[in-house]
């Protein structure tokens, strides 16, 4: 099984159904990994069909048939932006722009044969997708996994990655690209400032 949007960035996938949310975030165009997968109705439909099929296999539930209209496409992009805000709100270094909107989505609570209750997405179109995404976010928070879903600290990148570091300290989706780029940018800025002051230039971070 593969999550198309996340796979193109070579990032570690989030566990279980949380990977659906990660994949939605990774549909955005980035510096070097391809176009926005929600740019057109055809591209968005292709991504949605494959992502829902993968999620359904992970969740062991039937895959619904979701057909996007032009209105649904706008809703899908707004949903992506909303979850970007939710993920960023969990970072202490980010000042929130205001209260996040409430999630007005349907969900079914279904007991299985052993008496365990599952949250099952409900609704049609993007409302079904929103239902699945909010349910996965809630489950990830309850399982303690949510703080490890992050957006790359490089504002020109913002790839969603699952941080597997022991102390959950990762900030770059790829240290060799975004991390080194940020260090070089900071080094050049220090060089400019220290050059103006005549101070000794420190070595760049490794």
CA dihedral for 28, 29, 32, 33, sign (positive or negative): positive
DSSP annotation of 45 reads H
User: What percent of the chain stands above pLDDT 90?
Assistant: 61
Could you give the CA distance from residue 83 to residue 87 in angstroms, rounded to a whole number? 6
Among 73-77, 79-83, 149-153, 173-177, which is the least confidently predicted range?
A: 173-177
C-alpha torsion angle, residues 172, 85, 41, 69 (rounded to 10): 160
DSSP annotation of 119 reads E
Identify the CATH number of the domain defined by range 4-163.
1.10.3300
pTM equals: 0.82
Q: What is the pLDDT of residues 53-65, one digit of tens each?
A: 999 999 999 999 9
Q: What is the pLDDT of residues 66-90, one digit of tens each?
A: 999 888 999 999 999 999 999 998 7
Q: Identify whether the C-beta of residue 101 lies closer than 8 Å to the C-beta of residue 117.
A: no
For the chain, give every domain's residue range: 4-163, 174-206
User: What percent of the chain stands above pLDDT 70?
Assistant: 79
């Amino acid at each position: 099984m593969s999550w198309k949007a996340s796979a193109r960035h070579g990032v570690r996938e989030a566990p279980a159904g949380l990977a659906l949310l990660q994949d939605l975030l990774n549909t955005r165009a980035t510096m070097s990994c391809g176009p926005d997968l929600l740019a057109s109705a055809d591209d968005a439909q292709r991504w949605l069909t494959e992502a829902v099929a993968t999620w359904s296999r992970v969740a062991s539930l039937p895959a619904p048939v979701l057909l996007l209209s032009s209105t649904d496409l706008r809703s899908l992009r707004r949903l992506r932006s909303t979850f970007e805000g939710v993920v960023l709100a969990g970072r202490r270094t980010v000042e929130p722009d205001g209260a996040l909107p409430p999630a007005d989505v349907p969900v079914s609570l279904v007991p299985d044969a052993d008496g365990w209750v599952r949250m099952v997405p409900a609704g049609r179109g993007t409302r079904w997708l929103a239902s699945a995404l909010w349910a996965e976010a809630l489950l990830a928070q309850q399982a303690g996994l949510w703080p490890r879903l992050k957006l790359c600290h490089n504002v020109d990148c913002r790839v969603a990655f699952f941080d597997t570091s022991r102390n959950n300290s990762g900030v770059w989706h790829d240290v060799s690209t975004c991390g080194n780029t940020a260090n070089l940018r900071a080094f050049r800025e220090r060089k400019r400032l220290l050059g103006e002051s005549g101070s000794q230039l420190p070595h760049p971070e490794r």
